[in-house]
Structure 1
């Protein structure tokens, strides 16, 4: 990398392309490297970055390359990790399942992970349902090991939305820590003016 910044001359010398200074090579590149480091530090840093990058690429074997490709195929380890991340994003940020078909997210993943195939809406829906079942089983296990549980009922409005929910939350002590789990959320419909609020 350093040698690309020099014109090689006769009698063990080289000319720096950046400042035209003649450097004695003495049969090796030590003086050339020192000159670039001391006089052209920005170029030295770029050369070192390229060197590390090339070394990293050289160290990756053919077997590892094939393994990485396999990991991004359907049901591959890396693909499953990305699926899980998409499910988490949808659930955590309260996003519609159809977001996986949006151009922006598809474009982002294509740039970041070119070999990854974006799952369809039905696959993500199935994964969310499976995640829900696992979460229910986990909550049941936690509550089965707790002696006392207190319940609260709250009205909650989603941030940046007009949707409101009636929630039931369980509060309990687990390993000397106070924990809370939302057990259920039911959508509350807005009461119209002509309806009897007492009946509601």
Structure 2
């Protein structure tokens, strides 16, 4: 009898007068057995494969055939990982529409941009910079960032909304505390007055910066009093609602607070008071009736001399 061509007969014995044209298809469909990529080359290999298989020698036992260790078993349909399906046209259009001006994704990205600019104190031209544009092309290629002019307009609108919300919150508060400070910018002559309000809303403490005023005149007590009352009026806060004012120990701002709110409501900053102790202690003119140099000025002068000597040393 001529040798069989199909590798399936390496595991089964063909009976006389019987035919099995679709044997491999039957094994794959009903028993999960795939066709061998390489069939045995000689009779000895076929005999060893037959002896290792656990199939029956009759055609009736084909339905109960089990794969041997040398047969590749296919993964069942339940065990197969879910293959990614091609998105429908409706899904693609919905995804693209989310990046339009009225889309949900567009609003989320715009809110995140406004928060980043405010929180990190970035310039309003950040969306126009090349690095930011490159990042957005990778992270959200369908989103078009706003220009500087648009971002400025959005920031002003957001400021008005938040200001209105804060005003309503302050109207419900019966008592607030205020901290103020005057300072001059480093390496410049511009001076500012900053004011922060503190209050309790329910069980939560809140602190809000009411504003930073640019001081254009001499820092007299009357001028500072005028500026701080203007800031309070801008936020609809009555002076009678202020229960405590904390400032540094400068004579001008201390007098301004006493004139505006009364002496009982002014408290000097404890940290600033502690900081004045060593400076005043080291600045004594006499110790045991003996004159001594002004130590802080001498120490600053001495450190400046050392700095210049190090700079010009060979």
If you compute each CA radius of gyration, which structure gives the higher value, 1 or 2? 2
Structure 1 unaligned residues grouped into runs of 5+: 1-8, 16-21, 34-47, 190-195
Deviations 1:12-61 (A, max 9, x none): 3358xxxxxx95124x236xx9xxxxxxxxxxxxxx9xx56x53xx2744
Cα distance in 2 for partners of 1:84, 1:122 equals 16
Are residues 146 and 60 of structure 1, via their aligned partners in 2, closer, same or farther at CA, if it must alter by over 3 Å? farther
Cα distance in 1 for partners of 2:155, 2:7 equals 70
The answer to whether 1:143 aligns with 2:170 is yes
SS in 2 for 1:133: helix
Structure-to-structure mapping, 1:51-200, within 5 angstroms: 54-55=83-84, 58=85, 60-155=87-182, 165-187=192-214
Deviation at 1:188, TM superposition (A): 6.4
Are residues 138 and 198 of structure 1, via their aligned partners in 2, closer, same or farther at CA, if it must alter by over 3 Å? closer
In structure 1, the residue matched to 2:29 is none
Give the alignment's TM-score, normalised by structure 2.
Answer: 0.43
In structure 2, the residue matched to 1:38 is none
SS in 1 for 2:166: helix
Contact 1:99 1:105 in 2 (8 A): yes
Deviations 1:85-114 (A, max 9, x none): 111111111111111110000000011111
Cα distance in 2 for partners of 1:157, 1:95 equals 22
Cα distance in 2 for partners of 1:164, 1:102 equals 32
Structure 2 unaligned residues grouped into runs of 5+: 1-5, 9-34, 39-68, 224-314
SS in 2 for 1:13: coil
Cα distance in 1 for partners of 2:99, 2:195 equals 40
Cα distance in 1 for partners of 2:113, 2:128 equals 12
Cα distance in 2 for partners of 1:93, 1:152 equals 24
Cα distance in 2 for partners of 1:127, 1:157 equals 31
Are residues 180 and 198 of structure 1, via their aligned partners in 2, closer, same or farther at CA, if it must alter by over 3 Å? closer
Deviation at 1:166, TM superposition (A): 2.9
Give the alignment's TM-score, normalised by structure 1.
Answer: 0.64
Q: Of Structure 1 and Structure 2, which has the larger fraction of its residues in strand?
A: 1
